[in-house]
Amino acid sequence: MTAAVTEAPPRPSRVLHRSSRAVPPRAIGGHGIWLVEEGGREVIDASGGAAVSCLGHQHPRIVAAIQRQAGQLCYAHTGFFTNAPAEDLAEELVGAEPGGLAQAYFVAGGSEAVEAAIKLARQYAIETGQPARTRFIARRQSYHGNTLGALSAGGNAARKAPYAPLLSPAFSHVSPAFAYHGQHPGEDEAAYVARLADELEAEFQRLGPGNVAAFIAEPVVGATAGCVPAPAGYFRAVRAICDRHGALLILDEVMSGMGRTGTLHAWQQEGIAPDIQAIAKGLGGGYQPIGAVLVAGRVVEAIARGSGAFQHGHTYLSHALACAAALEVQRVIREEGLLENVVAMGERLQRRLAERFGNHHHVGDIRGRGLFRAIELVEDRAGRRPFDPALTLHARIKQEAFARGLACYPGGGTLDGVRGDHVLLAPPYIVAPEEIDLIVERLGEAVDAALAGLP
Ligand code: PLP
């Protein structure tokens, strides 16, 4: 069996890899949902990296669009110029002003998008004469990126721990909306939502409602917990609390957005709209590094009426080549009706996972929306007790799956001090029914092999 990473580097590497003990194999190509490794082995990209590759690999239309744009203009600094791909992409994303979102700000990735979202909310407070609004409320089970502001917002304890002294005290955290672990026995969904809303209200009161700039959350939690949608009514309750206290609602759809859950925006399934939204990953589908902040009209108007400039910026804002790639990705999704495939294949994936793992002793939950699904592994199903984190079950599953030609995205989430194991699947929107079946078949074998290998 091939190991996921080679213990002894096949050749020296000067790349600072994630692991300093092993160099991963080289990817040399790809087609559809498949990645090709040096030597010719093909691996299913069952989570699109980290929910990135929404169109799979080497899509001919995106490759052609990049080639066209590269021959014309790659980069022009936004201090002097705008460019057609950025203008057209903004029109594509917010031209119809979905939910009041009126303008788009293009950055190079998800963390940059979250940083910009946080700063926009702060600047909105200043521009509207509310300088006391310096506080942000987030949730304990969440991931918003690895830069210091985004990391401060996140609730992923393991990723935060080494940098705790550098993180911002402006962020406080409330409970996640995570029914599998958070809903009490006998408590119905409405009562659970009411309890979470009461806790958020109490946090506003503790901070002083006039001191809070924004609440930030992922509509469907991705990396930290594994595809966790909120219970029905949760985001309506959150929206109402933010409105009551004059705070903005920032939704981080870096992972769950751009069609991943079956609607272009995950918030469209919640009956609300954000004031500021962060997107990335599926925006460019991995063809170029790009993220964006979508901003409600009232926020951009407040800045336009006030100082007239967003006090922020990066070198690669509105990068022409990145915007051209993202524009073509979004056009392909729209013109080929791929969200219908996300819904249909997402239902098939849920069904196949339920068939394979529904009675599995160590699979406690199978959840998600669209092509954003996860299984959660537990030692004891009845008590929902996770495995000992020292066993690193999720890492074992990753290794067993990769050995079987399946790249998936297992994680060890941290929720209020409890660390559990999950496997996140996010295949490309072009995935075929038989490919869904193959993903579940290989995952089933990998999970059983990993469990059998536990000490
Ligand atoms: N926000 C969420 C919800 C994410 O899942 C991620 C990345 O996984 C980020 C932000 C950070 O994005 P990036 O890794 O592109 O900086």
pLDDT in tens, 93-122: 999 888 999 999 999 999 999 999 999 999
Tell me which of 91 and 412 has the higher pLDDT: 91
Q: What is the C-alpha separation between 448 and 27, in angstroms, rounded?
A: 27
What is the model's pLDDT at position 417? Answer: 64
User: Average pLDDT for residues 206-226, to the nearest whole number?
Assistant: 96
Mutate to test the pocket of ligand 1, among 159, 255, 283, 316 (most ligand atoms within 8 A of CB): 255
Structure tokens at 170: 């402006």
Mean pLDDT of 186-209: 98
Q: What pLDDT is recorded for position 416?
A: 67
Q: Which residue minimizes the CA distance to atom 9 of ligand 1? A: 145
CA of residue 147 to ligand 1 center, whole Å: 10
Is the minimum distance from the CB of 377 to ligand 1 under 6 angstroms? no
As given in the structure block, the two tokens for residue 350 are: 């849920």
Other beta carbons less than 10 A from residue 338's beta carbon: 19
CB-ligand 1 contact for 111 (6 Å cutoff)? yes
Taking CA atoms only, the protein residue closest to ligand 1 atom 15 is 110
Residue 414 has pLDDT above 70, yes or no: no
CB-count exposure of residue 301 (10 Å: 0-12, 13-18, 19+): middle
* Closest listed residue to residue 225, CA positions, set 291, 181, 285: 181
Question: What size, in residues, is the chain?
Answer: 455
Q: How confident is the model at residue 373 (pLDDT cuts 50, 70, 90)?
A: very high
Going by their DSSP bridges, the two strands 291-296 and 27-31 should be labelled as unpaired
414 lines ligand 1 (CB under 6 A): no
Residue 284's pLDDT band, with cuts at 50, 70 and 90, is very high
Mean of the per-residue pLDDT values of the chain: 95
Could you identify the atom of ligand 1 that is nearest to the CA of residue 281? 15
Q: What is the mean pLDDT of residues 184-212?
A: 98
CB crowding 177-187: b at 16 or more within 10 Å, else e:
bbbbbbbeeee
Beta carbon of 280 within 6 Å of any ligand 1 atom: yes
Ramachandran class of 10: left when φ > 0, alpha when ψ lies in -120 to 50, beta otherwise? alpha
Angle at 272 between CA 47 and CA 126, to 5 degrees: 100
Looking at residue 11, what is its pLDDT? 64
Mean pLDDT throughout 32-46?
98
Query: What average pLDDT does the segment 49-58 reach?
Result: 97
Determine the pLDDT at residue 3. Answer: 43
Average pLDDT, integer, range 433-454? 98
**Is the torsion defined by CA of 354, 355, 358, 364 positive or negative?**
negative
Whether 7 has a pLDDT exceeding 60, the answer reads no
> Could you say which DSSP state residue 388 is in?
P
User: Ligand 1 centre and the CA of 117: distance in Å?
Assistant: 13
**How many angstroms is it from 177 CA to the middle of ligand 1?**
19
Domains located in the chain, CATH noted? 27-59+338-453 (3.90.1150.10), 61-336 (3.40.640.10)
pLDDT in tens, 188-199: 999 999 999 999
Reply yes or no on whether the pLDDT at 301 is more than 90.
yes
pLDDT category of residue 20 using cuts at 50, 70 and 90 = confident
Gap from CA of 156 to ligand 1 centroid (Å): 12
Residues 222-274: pLDDT tens digits? Answer: 988 999 999 999 999 999 999 999 999 999 999 999 999 999 999 999 999 99
- What residue's CA is closest to ligand 1, atom 14? 110
What percentage of the chain exceeds 90 in pLDDT? 90
pLDDT score at 418: 67
Separation between Cα atoms, residue 114 and residue 277, nearest integer Å: 8
Q: How confident is the model at residue 2 (pLDDT cuts 50, 70, 90)?
A: very low
Q: In which band, very low, low, confident or very high, does the pLDDT at 415 lie, cut at 50, 70 and 90?
A: low
Q: Which two tokens stand for residue 287?
A: 């063809």
In angstroms, what is the span from residue 103 Cα to ligand 1's centroid? 21
Query: For residue 413, what pLDDT is reported?
Result: 65
For residue 136, give every residue at least 6 positions away whose Cβ sits within 8 Å of its Cβ, in sequence order, or none.
Answer: 118, 121, 153, 170, 171, 172, 212, 213, 214, 215, 216
Higher pLDDT, 130 or 383: 130
For residue 449, report the distance from its CA to the centre of ligand 1, in Å. Answer: 30
